A and B are shown apart, each in its own frame.
Chain A
Amino acid sequence: MLDLRQYSCLGEALRAAIDRWPDEVCLIEADRERENARFTYRQFKEAALPLTRALQDAGFVSGSRAAIIMTNQSKWLISAYAIFFGGGVLVPIDYKLTPEEQLKLLAHSKAEVLVVEYHLWRAITKADGFASLAARAVLVTETPAGIELSGATRWEEFRDSREPVFTARARGDAACIVYSSGTGGRPKGCVLTHDNYLEQCVALTSLYPFWPGVRYLSILPTNHAIDFMVGFIGPFVCGATVVHLRTLRPEYIREAFTKYKITYMSLVPMVLKNLERGLRQRFAELSPARRKVLDSLIGVNRALTRRRPNRALSRALLRQVHNAFGGELRAFFVGGAFTEPATLQFFYDLGILVGNGYGCTEAGTVISVNDFKPFRSDTVGKPLPGTEVRVVNADGEGIGEVAVRSKTVMSHYLDDPEMTSETIVDGWLMTGDLGRVDASGHLQLFGRKKNMIVTEEGKNIYPEDIENVFEGLPVKEFCVFAANYLWPERTMVGEKLVLVLHPDTGQNIGDDTIANLSERNRRLANYKRVSGYLIWDADFPRTASLKVKRIELAEQIRRGANRESVVAL
């Protein structure tokens, strides 16, 4: 891998990788059983630099901001490199947000350029607020022939073959603005520097190295912090190959393992559990005799790898299982949400390593990850090299808020010094998660201090971001809470949101109101919906400016109601 200490910015490191491994394959884009594109590092450069030049011709300069809203595909990475080469700041936006939410983040980030897929662009042009889109250039990929883009430009045609000017940035300059929340409330645009990313890359690759010939299967969208680091920057600065799969369908993921002999893959708990379910089903279909043999082999593998993994031994013992994953898989990385220990243990017993990690966007992706020395299914591993973790305000059992200090911690929240100073205190990032560091230095998580949930798809949902949809509901007032915030439980799975309704005096919450509420709930993406409602017969405490005092209200509800009072929707 490159010695990243030599480089001041991501553009410079990526440029060096391209020059070092010009003939290695860096990127493959697959869609189902088809292979759409394949690039060597040289071809990748040839695809990206004409885009940089065209951007520069259009006034793109050092520090200009460019947003990308795309699904998981090769043009994401090509565009990102073009932006970094020109000294730009990348704003990755989740393509799964609604067009209105995307427009809000585009406005907040002040992105001058937008790179977007056609079907997403079409939705944006129909959204409320489209007229306020301020981007100077909109580049739309994969537009069908004969379509008029009304002011936007086809990405494929936006290029200039003249040499672009490489624009270096300093380590402390912003590389990306990544939104961790705030689509409905106060936008949290994490400003992550080149130093944040380069330091994170050094730390991660010291534990999980890449090299030319390694193939990383990318199924998470690259706007996802994990995929940006482990499925772009990490493999590229090591001369490895990224295989993008443009579908999440299990049958094509299985096919990609064997077709591309995958070495690493990142996933969220939901996908890992799906793989587990598929394997368990296949095991259940075995004849009793074969099942007995399999169970014995799993038992032998478990006993022999208790202290340390042994890849060669596990592959020899459980060859068929490993062959189903292509035979060259070294590890999965799972993160974005809490993974149940039983799932991690299931894979470890098969000799398939799952690097269970913990992190957040504000910390520059990863805070801790399992190092398998030895495997522990009950923890999220040890802090990355160079990352300090401490527990603040610990209770009698040593559980308190997890605080992090590292060169990977973001610089600040964009245009929000107040929220920045609440989140980064004396150089420590306050995560809002509750945990404990055990005697061996492993971090264990027990719940959250903050009012939010994380789904098994790795989506962070903040109540403030979804409350808008309930505006106009015929009740006196309402407020959304995470159920575990109202009634703390030591768990981070199955988290749910609850809508607290305060009826008008004498008002009966009838079927009409519930139907109204349900209809509004369905306007939200399925993973953002409230799972139940609670009727609360007291005025909400409010500030002088009439904002709901959420902490105080939560305390009142905690004292006056319990989980059983919540009516499921």
Chain B
Amino acid sequence: MYPENFRYTKEHEWVRAEGDTGTVGITFHAQEELGDIVYVDPPKIGARVDVGSSLGSVESVKAVSDIYSPVSGEVVEVNEALADAPEKMNQDPHGEGWLARIKLSHPEECDELMTAAGYQAYAGAEK
């Protein structure tokens, strides 16, 4: 369920680091809790983020959830497909439903996040 090469946060975001770029999204558990996603408010390209700062928000019909950055760096790309098809975040949260790409200022931050096994246990316990 949860890809081994990702790292995970307690707020249910994931990051996949490749060199000094990290791709970020929300986890399967997160999209399940939210229900049908109707709108994604992405971060701005060029925005500098720290660990825990806002990466935009995700809306279902009845709720809004803020997304927090798992890493620090600069937003270099956002997933434009989500503008027309926010449901991609439900359908493929770890793949096509990615949110943004960040140029990592401190790639070692990823090592401090949960592994797939750790997150699986954490998300399971949350239920």
Q: Do A and B come from one complex?
A: no
**Which residue numbers of B lie inside 8 Å of A, CB to CB?**
none
